[in-house]
Structure 1
Amino acid sequence: MIEKFLKAKHWQIFMITFGLPFLIQIITIPMIIIGNDPTIMMNVFPIIMILFIGGFLGWFWSIGVGLQIKVPQDVKMKVKRFKVFLIIPLAYMLFISISMASIFNGAIEVGQEPNPGIIGSMVGIIVPLHLFSMFCIFYCLYFVAKTFKTVELQREATFSDFAGEFFMLWFFPIGIWVVQPKVNKMIEK
């Protein structure tokens, strides 16, 4: 799977992460309006999130792990930490999308408001998890950008070397059009 992401064209990754979820939303919204059923979106939301997060973090995993064979021997990178920090947001997003969909879907079907105790406890759990997940994603941005630039320069890169790549990865919809063609060239060599 790593090689498929590394060899994929930029537009293919863009279509997996943005095009397909957007198409699903375009199809779903008229169904909600025509059927007057807001639960449709709650059922489709986890699918949209799984497609986006799976594509986004799958691409990160592919660059962070797949390019390690091209990193110079004298450069040591903390790949295990990267893997753990990448799995945490993935698990968090799966948890949040499925639990929120089931809570709100259940409340809409029953016709009553969600239990405030459940909502309060969910917020108490979600806020710290969300902040930690954000930290993990920023670390993954840092690691992937550093790996990318280390392979490109064939020496250990400093933040000033890979700051541009860091921000291109952060603003993923734009950066993918610049970063992925370079990744394709690295893999071809």
Structure 2
Amino acid sequence: MGEKLYNKLNNKSILNLKQFKLQIYFVVIYLILISIFLGGYDINNNNIVEYGWVAWVIIPLYFLMFFCMIHTIYFLSRCITTIRNKKEGYGWYMLGFWVFPIGIWIIQPRIIDLLNKDSTKQNTI
């Protein structure tokens, strides 16, 4: 979805598609590796000694993963608001993506309209 929205942008210099893809790959690979090798983790003050030096690797990677998730949501929200050409903030779209099951009900019809709008114009030409 992100790539399709990016391709509909007139000014592609405002966002970086390669960075978007790398961030998605990082999040997916990080979550898979943590699930396979550690079975997830629950690091707190009481058990941080059990993790040892691995905690010093996990915690920064967790913050990087969190940043990547926020930035991918920003990327999608910015694409939608730029394509719609309306003076609305992209914060509402970010909130909608963050609370995914509920927010997508509001966002999905707008995304479908954006994706179908140009395809109907191309079919009539």
User: Normalized against structure 1, the TM-score is what?
Assistant: 0.52
Structure-2 separation of matches of 1:166 and 1:65: 17
> In the alignment, does 2:92 pair up with 1:164?
yes
Match of 2:17 in 1: 79
Aligned residue in 2 for 1:68: 6
Query: Are positions 1:152 and 2:84 aligned together?
Result: yes
Structure with greater proportional helix content: 1
Q: Please list the CA deviations of residues 127-164 of structure 1 after superposition, one character each: whole Å capped at 9, or x if unmatched.
A: 1100111011111111110011111117xx7xx62111
Question: Normalising to structure 2: TM-score of the pair?
Answer: 0.75
> Identical aligned pairs, as a percentage?
27
Give deviations 1:90-141, integer Å, cap 9, x for gaps.
1111111111239xxxxxxxxxxxxx66x32332221110011101111111
C-alpha separation in 2, matches of 1:81 and 1:134: 15
What's the counterpart of residue 181 of structure 1? 109
Quick check: 2:96–2:107 contact (8 Å CA) kept in 1?
yes
Amino acid aligned to 1:126 = I
Count of residues in correspondence between the two structures: 109
1:92 aligns with 2:30: yes
Deviation for aligned residue 1:75: 4.3
Distance in 2 between residues matched to 1:126 and 1:176, nearest whole Å: 30
Q: Which amino acid aligns with 1:152?
A: R
Answering whether residue 66 of structure 2 is matched by residue 138 of structure 1, we say no
| Cα distance, 1:70 vs structure 2 | 1.5
Q: Runs of 5+ in structure 2 lacking a partner?
A: 41-48, 118-125
The match for 1:126 among 43, 58, 70 is: 58
CA distance in 1, matches of 2:73, 2:81: 12
> Which stretches of structure 1, 4 residues or longer, exceed 3 Å deviation after superposition?
none
Higher Rg of the two aligned structures: 1
Could you say what the CA RMSD is over the residues aligned between the two structures, in angstroms?
2.3
Retained in 1: the 8 A contact 2:77–2:90? yes
Report the CA distance between 1:68 and its aligned residue.
1.8
Distance 1:121 1:66 in 2: 41
